[in-house]
Amino acid sequence: MPTWRSRRDEARLRRHAAELAGGHGVRTRAVVADLAAADGPGHAVRSTIAQLGRVDVLVNNAGASPFGSFDRISDDQWSAAFELKLLGYVRCIRAVLPGMRAQRSGRIVNVVGMAGHYATSGYVLGALNAALLHLTRSVADLVAQDGITVVALNPGFTATDRLTAALSVLAEEAGTDLATFSDGYLAERVPLGLRGAAGDRGARRVRLLAALRLPDRHLDRRRRRRRAREVLTCRHGAR
């Protein structure tokens, strides 16, 4: 399974690519691109296709908008977040769709975040998460007939530096210290006290979503017949 990863930190990117290749026995290619630039996603996809032949799965996971309330976020911060987190996803999807449509298959996973569902005063740029959820549904409805699935993943509270940064901003705005604020905030929103741990859980969920198959009603007649033969073969083989 060829694997493509794109980010601007070249040394870290190549290290991740080597870890994937060594740990999972896959071919990997590291493509350096600025996904906030107009042609960054196009360059990344063209380079990937030139080296690996095609794109079967796109995982959009670029961008981390700064935390802050409406009063604190400047026009420049709005513009930068829009270019990377929203337009970055849009441009990546736009770049892979022609190839996925031509091969009549593809999987697109947009990693978004819970802020798309739950607004808070301390993270006004979460509005872009809501836009990404709308984008996901809109594109999913558009390309289902082409054999392409588009889904969103909204990770919950996970013990990462980003969560600490978010809680620090909220604590400051509430006029209290981080430890006191965190205990109350998380207890209210995570009744069982179970928080995600940084590691491979998110990656496993992405792999699961990338493996989703479209219901038969979205497939053309020829592909429905082929799937029916696959099911029949499996049933016969099980006897």
Retrieve residue 113's tokens.
């975040």
Q: How long, in residues, is the chain?
A: 239
- Residue pair 158/111 in contact by the 8 Å Cβ criterion: no
The span from the CA of 191 to the CA of 69, in Å, is 26
Nearest to 79 by CA among 71, 32, 227, 88: 88
Q: How many domains does the chain divide into?
A: 1
- Cβ burial 124-150 (10 Å sphere, 16+ → b, else e): bbbbbbbbbbebbeebbeebbebbbbb
Residue 51 domain-assigned? no
β-partners of residue 150 are 108
pLDDT at 61: 87
Per-residue pLDDT of the chain (239 residues; tens, 9 = 90+): 444 455 557 788 888 888 888 888 888 888 888 888 999 999 999 998 998 899 999 999 877 788 888 999 999 999 999 999 999 999 999 999 999 999 999 999 999 988 888 888 888 999 999 999 999 999 999 999 999 999 998 876 666 666 667 667 777 777 787 777 676 666 666 655 555 555 555 555 555 556 656 555 544 555 544 443 333 333 334 33
Q: What angle do CA 129, 93, 26 make, to 5 degrees?
A: 105
Burial of 2 (0-12, 13-18, 19+ CB in 10 A): middle
3-class secondary structure per residue, 77-90: HHHHHHHHHHHHHH
Retrieve residue 224's tokens.
């429905």
Q: What CATH number has the domain bearing residue 197? A: 3.40.50.720
pLDDT at 51: 87
Catalytic residue positions, numbered: 123
Residue 91 domain-assigned? yes
Residue 106 domain-assigned? yes
| 221: Cβ contacts below 8 Å, ≥ 6 apart | none
Q: Are strands 3-7 and 28-32 parallel, antiparallel or unpaired?
A: parallel
Residue 124 domain-assigned? yes
pLDDT at 133: 95
Residue 13 domain-assigned? no
β-partners of residue 24 are none
β-partners of residue 197 are 159
Q: Find the domain containing 227 and state its range.
A: 57-238
- Residue pair 205/198 in contact by the 8 Å Cβ criterion: no
- Residue pair 95/54 in contact by the 8 Å Cβ criterion: no
Q: Report the first-to-last Cα separation within the chain, whole angstroms.
A: 31
Q: Would the pTM count as exceeding 0.75?
A: no
Residue 52 domain-assigned? no
| 34: Cβ contacts below 8 Å, ≥ 6 apart | 8, 40
Residue 17 domain-assigned? no
- Residue pair 34/40 in contact by the 8 Å Cβ criterion: yes
Residue 27 domain-assigned? no
